[in-house]
Amino acid sequence: MSSYVSQLQTRLKEAGLYTGKIDGIAGKLTVKAVELAIKRGVCTKDEQKDVSVIHATDPTVDGNEHLLNLTDNAVDIAPKNKPTYSLSELSLSRLKGVNPNLVKVVKRAIEVTGVDFRVQEGLRTKERQALLVKQGKSKTMNSRHLTGDAVDLVAIVDGQVSWDFNHYYTIAQAIAQASTELGVSVRWGGAWTVITNKNGTPQEWVKAYKAERKKLGKKEFLDGVHFEIPA
């Protein structure tokens, strides 16, 4: 049993991709769930490699595998059991004044996300923007929030706001899927890149952003809650 695998299984279950027990055993169900999670941006390729190695070397796998009663398409059943979410009245009220195309993306994203989210902020006044800059929570007075072209989405887990960045990877993947389906260009503040029609995973996008900032000798600013339509 592996605590690393247990943590991964927990994340996969939250995303609705894993229906097995949180047992720390890298069985076939876990391996298949990770394969699907790669496509959804929930796991990285490095994590897939780790799980494959553990699966091949863990002596407990063979002894427990028969309990899973797996079929080749077992992992495909998982998304059907994924919790479905909808925007609250509060979230909908905060979308007033926001670019209609971005509103469509957010409404579609809540239907496909593996993690629930709430609209924290949409259209913003200049006074509030100035306050956020003063507090160091924003870097510019030229925010897309001022024109209604940006939203901040916070993850909701067990009824509470979560700042675990892993949850924002999942939300970013949902926004990427929704924006691609709708043909709306959206940039994510977690990596400051357009994620519409973008290859790779959110984790890889963030890694590339960090590497670029380091190369330039500049500080990184990860704003995982922020999604905007580029100017």
Rounded to an integer, the average pLDDT of 14-30 is 81
Last residue in a domain, options 81, 112, 131: 81
Same domain, 142 and 222: yes
Which pLDDT belongs to residue 64? 41
Which pLDDT belongs to residue 73? 37
Same domain, 21 and 108: no
Question: Alpha-carbon torsion 65, 70, 72, 78, what sign?
Answer: negative
Last residue in a domain, options 81, 114, 147: 81
The structural domain count of the chain equals 2
Query: What backbone torsions phi and psi does residue 171 show, to the nearest 5 degrees?
Result: -65, -40
Q: Which pairs count as long-range contacts for 8-12, CB under 8 Å and 24+ apart, including other chains? A: 8/34, 8/43, 8/47, 8/51, 9/33, 11/42, 11/43, 11/166, 12/37, 12/42, 12/43
Last residue in a domain, options 60, 81, 102: 81
Tens-digit pLDDT profile for residues 178-220:
999 999 999 999 999 999 999 999 999 999 999 999 999 999 9
Q: How far is CA 64 from the centre of its chain?
A: 31
Highest mean pLDDT among 28-32, 126-130, 221-225: 221-225
For residue 62, pLDDT beyond 60: no
Which pLDDT belongs to residue 170? 96
Which pLDDT belongs to residue 58? 66
Counting residues of the chain whose pLDDT is more than 70, the rounded percentage is: 89
Same domain, 93 and 195: yes
Same domain, 147 and 180: yes
**223, 151 Cβ separation under 8 angstroms:** no
Geometric angle at alpha carbon 11, from 164 and 192, rounded to 5°:
45
Q: At what angle do helices 3-14 and 28-40 cross, to 10 degrees?
A: 50
Same domain, 180 and 198: yes
The pLDDT-based confidence of 1 (bands split at 50, 70, 90) is: low
Domain, as residue range, for 120: 89-228
Higher model confidence: residue 80 or residue 60? 60
Same domain, 101 and 73: no
User: What's 99's domain CATH number?
Assistant: 3.30.1380.10
Amino acid at 216: L
Query: What backbone torsions phi and psi does residue 21 show, to the nearest 5 degrees?
Result: -85, 150
The pLDDT-based confidence of 61 (bands split at 50, 70, 90) is: low
Provide CB contacts within 8 A for 20, sequence distance 6+: 9, 27, 29, 30, 33, 68
DSSP string of 23-88?
-S---HHHHHHHHHHHHHTSS-HHHHHHHHHHHHH-THHHHHGGGG---TTHHHHGGGGS------
Higher model confidence: residue 156 or residue 83? 156
Higher model confidence: residue 44 or residue 179? 179
Same domain, 194 and 94: yes
Whether the model clears a pTM of 0.75, i.e. scores above it, the answer is no
Same domain, 173 and 106: yes
